[in-house]
């Protein structure tokens, strides 16, 4: 389907509140695929999820252990730094807070570095990481994640540009200071608020 221009008039004609769409974005029904590197070949029998750094109780979860944690559902708009937005996306997964509570942060913790296959990373302040609607998601649209969208697990942080919603996630490290991840080292904004158009260094 051809993307719609996200002018206020076009959005209103579609029954969409223009306030939902950040400046510079267009709305699409597609789910474009953008990533660095190759899609990993995942063996769930060997897969694990680790939490380390400034924590009271370092955590390692197998796939079965992660899936045994209480699940939550999320319907959210997502916004890619490449200027597309997709509205009312539907996810199922483990709330970030549930895994955070297993580890227990030590005094001085301020940021996390999300870790994924191939050494990919992304940074987040703790207060953004722990928002109530954030998930480690394993389903999208009622189906398991497709490989190109992060199978078996991806972080979903809908209030920031979608590169922060790391695909193929394997865990996170709790830090005492901000540390740039992969895209942040390569020119992307350290925070990434779509409504402030924080796409690149200096925005």
Q: What is the pLDDT of residues 23-47, one digit of tens each?
A: 999 999 888 776 656 789 999 999 9
CA angle 153, 155, 158 (to 5 degrees): 140
Domains within the chain, CATH numbers bracketed = 44-70+95-196 (3.90.420.10)
Mean pLDDT, range 66-91, rounded to an integer:
97
Q: Residue 2: pLDDT above 70?
A: no
- Strands 135-140 and 154-156 come out as antiparallel
Question: pLDDT at position 42, please?
Answer: 95
Summarised one tens digit per residue, pLDDT across range 128-158 is 999 999 999 999 999 999 999 999 999 999 9
Question: pLDDT at position 1, please?
Answer: 45
Mean pLDDT, range 60-84, rounded to an integer:
97
Name the percent of the chain lying above pLDDT 70: 95
Q: Residue 109: pLDDT above 60?
A: yes
Question: pLDDT at position 4, please?
Answer: 45
Query: pTM of the predicted model, to two decimals?
Result: 0.91
Three-class HEC string of the chain: CCCECCCHHHHHHCCCCHHHCCCCCEECCCCCCCCCCCCCCCCCCCCEEEEEECECCCEEEEHHHHHCCCCEEEEEEEECCCCEEEEEEEEEEEEHHHHHHHHCECCCCCEEEEEEHHHCEEEEEHHHHCCCCCEEEEEECCEECCHHHCCCCEEECCCCCHHHCCCCEEEEEEECCCCCCHHHHCCECCCCCHHHCCCECCC
CA distance 57 to 54: 9
Question: pLDDT at position 11, please?
Answer: 82
């Amino acid at each position: 389907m051809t993307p719609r221009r996200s002018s206020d008039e076009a959005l209103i004609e579609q029954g969409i509140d223009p306030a939902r769409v950040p400046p510079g974005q267009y709305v699409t029904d597609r789910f474009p695929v953008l990533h660095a590197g190759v899609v990993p070949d995942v063996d769930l029998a060997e897969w694990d999820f680790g939490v380390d750094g400034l924590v009271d109780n370092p955590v390692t979860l197998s796939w079965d252990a992660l899936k045994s944690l209480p699940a939550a559902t999320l319907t959210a708009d997502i916004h890619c730094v490449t200027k597309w937005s997709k509205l009312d996306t539907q996810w199922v997964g483990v709330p970030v807070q549930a895994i955070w509570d297993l580890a227990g942060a030590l005094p001085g913790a301020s940021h996390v570095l999300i870790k994924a296959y191939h050494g990919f990373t992304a940074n987040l302040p703790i207060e953004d990481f722990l928002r109530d609607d954030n998930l480690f998601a394993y389903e999208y649209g009622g189906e398991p994640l497709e490989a190109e969208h992060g199978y078996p697990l991806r972080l979903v942080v809908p209030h920031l540009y979608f590169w922060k919603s790391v695909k193929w996630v394997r865990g996170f490290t709790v830090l005492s200071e901000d540390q740039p991840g992969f895209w942040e080292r390569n020119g992307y904004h350290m925070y990434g608020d779509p409504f402030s158009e924080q796409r690149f260094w200096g925005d």
